[in-house]
Structure 1
């Protein structure tokens, strides 16, 4: 394959728009899906555990593609690679929209993962290739794309559920793909001839086995920790063995290229750990918030969609302020920015853990602004500290590795939050149900109150209303437990930031 032009001539607004369109696609789709997770589970008849399998399938497929991202870019050229990924992402969306069972949905999400893996990394590497004066503007637009895509997700998801049905969570992404396809002509095209494969077939197969067994282990850990520990131990040993074998086969195949990358020093590894924590929290938060706002607090679908977009729109404002300070060279140090972001997260978790059903919507908006500040400030500070010591020629591989960590974190966030919410909800419901008896004076008082307020209702109907309130209270307590855990994670992040000296 012959070499093509490296980058479009000139730096234009259209080029920035093309990058933003590519970068935002995965975030729009995942934002819609996280918002409508309960509706999707009901539509395909899936339990929360099966829904998390779909997240696992998406992440596994994406990770396998990311391991070969650099080679595919060189072999196909970035333009062709992104276009092929758009087609795969669209095909996966069609399969998900047509799914009538959990298995079909999982296959559709796996196909989407094959395509969606490319967008984030490709757009970021494009920005890194800009000249230094233009790179800051490109990074700002890249960040805007991620936040706007994440904000549009719940807004579009709410409209799809309100006026159509859950299948339009996936049909609705197709117009965005059609809009992005012609914009890819502005991307760079770097194709080279007769490149050796980045991974041998055997090493890739064992790598797939390692990733799948690792994801399955994470998924099954809360269910089988006490009942079937031998299965978990077998999964762990199988995951380690498959990863070791894949590494040895890859080392033989790639020679020097199979060795530990030169950029993987302590600042980079610490940055990956911070990235992992941030994406884990953002993913789990995006799953928990719709459940809390809609099911536990009782807001309607459109209001829930607007509320969930607040954090990401606030993130745009915080990112703009931080970027302006960087342009003026008046921004605080990286450690100070990370500490500020962690403080916002801790305050957000602490206050959200105390939210009651009578909460005012303006108070919720204020809390979600704190979450938006954490996301944008923490990610921007971590990005500066992680990649500033990486050489330009190593950036693509370093960012490819970082995006693999992102996919793992997102998958674990969805799986962990579904399992956490299910386990805590069952426990709280059982405890609250102990008082659901005529022997409890509070129960008698509640029934008498309902009889006075709704005299037209029979006793069975009044009991059904109390049972619904019981489920709502259990869900609220479960969500509050999650935000208490988020507060503790923020405290651990503060200790990590205080301990390390790499981002000074």
Structure 2
């Protein structure tokens, strides 16, 4: 009898550890990506490249991740989940180590490609493992731990990134994750059943669809990051790459539709509820990733808020999301109209973005808090109802196949949103700078008086007349540059508010997810 109780106790303990292992694994990828996006300007500045190159680095991670997600079912059937995740952790660790030691753009891009190949396995595999590892009675608890892990690291990532960059340097954004990789590898080796997910029949690998998929997403991701610059410099090359990517995606989709053992099970994913849900997911990932890139730029460079304070502000908003998520988990079952919740989330995001677009350039930190509180509702009220309703349309049998396609879309939209945000911010800043400098003419008495006073101040410090005039012009350029950046951020917040408002309209008119 004692032996049976002991075995039951050890089984419950192992199940509890498994729940936290899955949450920690997906949490690690969210933590590292959150830190990377928040500290992106410092990381890119550390290797001496322009902010626009962030789009290229993000695209590399997305390509690697989408490749691993596409191969997930083949690889798990061949190796089993334990060995598949150990390989993924090895790739992730190698990519993380290479990122920490990168000295130029090519090295960082390659490192993030490898890291993405590892990271792509975590989100999809850990979520798919929940119904495989736990009974029907245990699954709600496992899902709660899983969701809380994601929202918890969202609250930690910005402030941790800010603290590491401020005190230790940008390379520690990567170094800090390595111990977690080793710890999780031990957990996977110890806790996951050896042959879980492994097929008893041979898996027929085919190189052609893999190459077609890599080329297709590579072309699409390249067009995301380079469209703004190629459109005017070499439009014919951009058009060729876009058409090639679309053609390859079409051929890949046709191949997968007809294939008996496809990478993506497209034939099984035609339920209208699932297709609408994936579309709403895409809207959510675009808005949230655009916002995650824009806010630290706006706060630190636009408003002049110190890096660590910016991190605390970002984490404050994420902590609001965590609190809302806890309440959602407890009370959402009592709310039958999930569509109203999704509309509320989108409206909250639109309001938060509009609020940000109206903040004065000399506003105190406290002026941001209201917008950050409102923003914190978006992630929970939008994505959690979408997640529940989208996969309910498929059922347990097709859950893994649907989740695979959803995660490929997630990576593509995250990369697309970050690329659009980085390029649009730089483009808008250039436009605003050109317009502002165009107003600094001899006929503008205010600008001339300010410039004359500043020149006199430099002369009082011992500068020669010519040097003082040059220093005054340089200072004027810096002031205009800062003002242009601030105005560019607010312009983008206005556009993002419009996108969020349109998302609310889309939610209101669709009829499949209620």
- TM score, norm. by length of structure 1: 0.92
In 1, are the aligned partners of 2:34 and 2:157 still within 8 Å (CA)?
A: yes
Pick aligned residue for 2:384 from 377, 380, 397: 380
Deviation at 1:249, TM superposition (A): 4.5
Distance in 1 between the 2:355 and 2:414 partners?
24
TM-superposed deviation, 1:368:
1.1
Which residue pairs with 1:201 in the alignment? 207
- Larger displacement relative to structure 2 (175-184 or 221-230): 221-230
Q: Distance in 1 between matches of 2:256 and 2:274?
A: 23
Which residue of structure 2 lines up, in the alignment, with residue 432 of structure 1?
Answer: 436
SS at 1:68's partner residue? helix
Where does residue 101 of structure 1 map in the other structure? 104
* Deviations 1:267-304 (CA, angstroms, capped at 9, x unpaired): 11111111111111211111111111101100111101
The answer to whether the Cα contact below 8 Å between 2:81 and 2:198 also exists between their aligned partners in 1 is no
Which of 5, 9, 12 aligns to 1:10? It is 12
Shifted more, 255-264 versus 418-427: the winner is 255-264
Which of 235, 238, 248 is matched with 1:232 structurally? 238
Q: 1:445 to 1:195 in 2, by over 3 A?
A: farther
Q: Provide the rounded CA distance (Å) in 2 between the counterparts of 1:257 and 1:102.
A: 31
Please identify, of 447-456 and 388-397, the stretch whose mean Cα deviation from structure 2 is larger.
Answer: 447-456
Deviation at 1:241, TM superposition (A): 2.6
Q: What secondary structure is seen at the aligned counterpart in 1 of 2:102? A: coil
Shift of 1:259: 6.3
Q: Tell me the distance in 2 between the aligned counterparts of 1:13 and 1:197.
A: 32
Of the three residues 94, 97, 115, the one matched with 2:118 is 115
Q: Structure 2: give runs of 5+ residues left out of the alignment.
A: 1-9
2:76 corresponds to which residue?
73
Q: Is the 8 A contact 1:251 1:257 kept in 2?
A: no
Change (3 A) 1:256 1:144: closer
Whether 2:367 is the aligned partner of 1:363: answer yes
Task: Give the secondary-structure state (helix, strand or coil) at the position aligned to 2:387.
Answer: helix
Q: Residue 282 of structure 1 aligns with which residue?
A: 288
User: How many corresponding residue pairs?
Assistant: 495
Contact 1:202 1:249 in 2 (8 A): no
> Over aligned residue pairs, what C-alpha RMSD do you find?
2.3
Evaluate the alpha carbon distance shift between residue 97 and residue 498 of structure 1 in structure 2; reply closer, same or farther with a 3 A threshold.
same
Could you say what secondary structure the match of 1:391 adopts? Answer: coil
1:477 correspondence with 2:481: no
Instruction: With the length of structure 2 as denominator, give the TM-score of the two structures.
Output: 0.90
Residues 356, 449 of structure 1: alpha-carbon distance in 2 compared, 3 angstrom cutoff: farther
* Matched-pair contact (CA < 8 Å) for 1:203–1:247: no
Superposition deviation, residue 128 in structure 1: 3.7
Q: Is 1:279–1:409's contact at 8 Å kept on the other side of the alignment?
A: yes
Alignment of 1:33 onto 2:36:
yes
1:186 aligns with 2:191: yes
The residue aligned with 1:345 is 349
Give the equivalent residue in structure 2 for 1:55.
58
Q: Which moved more, 1:435-444 or 1:450-459?
A: 450-459
Query: What stretches of structure 1 of length at least 5 have no aligned partner?
Result: 1-7
The equivalences for 1:130-209 within 5 A come to 130-184=134-188, 185-189=190-194, 190-193=196-199, 195-197=201-203, 200-209=206-215
1:36: Cα distance to partner?
A: 1.4
